[in-house]
Amino acid sequence: MRTEQIDALVIGGGAAGMSAAATISAADFSTALVEREDELGGVLLQCIHNGFGLHEFKEELTGPEYAERWVRKIEQSEVKTFCGTTVMEMNLLEDGRKECFGYSPQHGVIKFVTRTVVLTMGCRERNRGNVMIPGTRPAGVYTAGLAQRLVNMNGYIPGKEVVIVGSGDIGLIMARRMQWVGSKVHAVVEIQPYPSGLTRNISQCLNDFKIPLYLSHVVSKIYGKERVEAVDITPLKNGVPDHEQTFQIKCDTLLLSVGLIPENELSKQVGIELNPLTNGPTVDSMLMTSIEGVFSAGNVLHVHDLVDFVSAEARLAGENVIDYLKGVKPDRELPIKPGANIRYINPTRINPDVNSEIYMRPLVVSNNARLKIMVNGEVVKQQKKPHVQPSEMIKLKISPKFFKDVELTPDSRVEVTLQDEP
């Protein structure tokens, strides 16, 4: 069996993995990058629409172009890349190192013995079972991302008459894509009273094609024996389905864009603590998980809405791995908790002595909100937010200055709240 002795093993060769691996390798630490598909790039390769890279490259790129920029960086680095290889097992060795086994048709079984691991496995789509749509079980029900892969990479059109469940960005992008391959999208059905995708995608993917968006509606039944034949759509009244108002749309295909879940099978297997608010690992100020030397970044940690943020977060994880390998550790950390109107904050601990960047998701839509950072219940910093909505992550820079006028004790905690100011 082939054995690789390395400083860092990066698991998953998408946007996060390529960024983390390039960063660690640039500091002359031996790095391996493992990807289960036959080429690097992850989901970016099927995201052929544009809008990527505005932060990282200051230009608007398509997914494949964004991926290619990073693949070049990896090719020009010392990173050892293993494509077509799946990591199935991680063991903790007595000397603190980790032993991981990768399986690959090309290389057979590879044993990686590594000082650190970076988890960058991304996320997967929630499916029909997760949202429990009643009805028969015919062919023609796809998750939106699977349909995207079929159309954009494999060259198959999954159906002609389409209804989309969920107004997440993948669903909206797929509405336009299906129209552009000659299919007809009859409706997008969203359970929330507001769209869960970006407003610009509502405009350019739905309004451009006059596709109706039914807010506060659910697909309440799927019909069809061999193939989807129709769906029932029911409006919600005070959050409860109003069955008398149910109407039917004939269609042969139902696409589901109903959220993403970080893919943490490997993390669970090795006993890494998961955060129930994000479904990703709980991480400290270094983006290190509950197992020392195992770091995490990107959509496996929490689902991001911009790939640029994934690359940035993974670069930070890479820099933290370098610090860890050099023996640099924070002197102290404070827990940081979501307060009013904040769903979660990542990471869950911060180092008050350095600049840090945290990501959070709001629970409300507001066109005039105020973000407050509090320590021991005292407001240390406020920020105006002209527009917030749950589908758009808030990025916040935290500076040591925020803490200069408060006394920090081992019991101190930071809390962030969001107030709607009408």
In angstroms, give the least distance from the CB of 46 to another protein. Answer: 9
DSSP 127: -
CA 153 vs CA 74, 141, 158: distances in Å: 23, 19, 12
Q: In the window 143-182, what residues touch another protein (CB under 8 A)? A: 151-155, 180-181
Minimum separation from the CB atom of position 416 to another protein (A): 20
CB of residue 154 vs another protein: minimum separation in angstroms?
A: 6
Determine which residue in the list 90, 119, 202, 294 makes contact with another protein, applying CB under 8 A: 202
Task: State which H helix or E strand residue 141 sits in.
Answer: strand 141-143
Minimum CB distance to another protein, residue 395 (Å): 12
Q: Which is nearer to another protein, 70 or 112 (CB)?
A: 70
Instruction: Kindly state the smallest distance separating residue 120's Cβ from another protein, in Å.
Output: 22
Q: Which of 386, 405, 407, 411 binds another protein (CB under 8 A)?
A: 386
CB nearer another protein, residue 50 or residue 86: 50
Could you tell me which stretch among 28-36, 48-56, 158-166, 371-379 binds another protein (CB under 8 A)?
48-56
- Do the beta carbons of residue 167 and residue 213 sit within 8 Å? yes
CB of 265 to another protein, least distance (A): 27
Q: Does the protein bind another protein through residue 18 (CB under 8 A)?
A: no
Least separation in angstroms between residue 208's CB and another protein is: 7
Looking at 25-33, 43-51, 108-116, 225-233, which segment touches another protein (CB under 8 A)?
43-51
Per-position x/- string for 98-137, each x denoting binding to another protein as judged by CB under 8 A, each - no binding: ----------------------------------------
Per-position x/- string for 287-326, each x denoting binding to another protein as judged by CB under 8 A, each - no binding: ----------------------------------------
Minimum Å gap between C-beta 393 and another protein is: 11
Chain positions 58 to 87 lying near another protein, rule: CB under 8 A, are 60, 62-65, 68
Residue 266 structure tokens: 């490997």
Q: Measured from the CB atom, is 116 or 152 closer to another protein?
A: 152
Per 3-state DSSP, the chain is made up of helix, strand and coil in percentages (nearest 5) of 25, 35, 40
What backbone phi and psi angles, to 5 degrees, belong to 42?
60, -145
Structure tokens that stand for 383 in this block:
């920020």
Q: Which is nearer to another protein, 180 or 247 (CB)?
A: 180
Nearer of residues 164 and 202 to another protein, judged by Cβ: 202
Report H helices in 257-306: 265-269
SS3 state of residue 251? coil
Least distance (Å) between residue 322 CB and another protein: 30
- The structure tokens listed for 48 are 């052929």
Shortest CB 367 distance to another protein, Å? 8
Q: At what angle do helices 307-325 and 63-75 cross, to 10 degrees?
A: 20
Taking the least distance from each CB to another protein, the nearer of 28 and 39 is 39
Burial code (b: 16+ CB inside 10 Å, e: under 16) for 74-99 equals beebebbbbbbbebeebeeeeeebbe
What are the start-end ranges of the H helices in 160-208? 169-180, 199-201
DSSP helix/strand/coil, 99 = strand
* Of 85 and 116, CB closest to another protein: 85
> Between the CA of residue 381 and those of 121, 152, 292, 352, 392, what are the distances in Å?
35, 46, 32, 14, 21
In sequence order, the 6+-apart residues with CB closer than 8 A to the CB of 291 are: 92, 270, 271, 272
Give, for 380, the enclosing helix (H) or strand (E): strand 378-385
Beta bridge partners of 38: none
Q: Which residues bind another protein (CB under 8 A)?
A: 38, 45, 48-50, 60, 62-65, 68, 151-155, 180-181, 198-200, 202-204, 207-208, 367, 386-387, 392
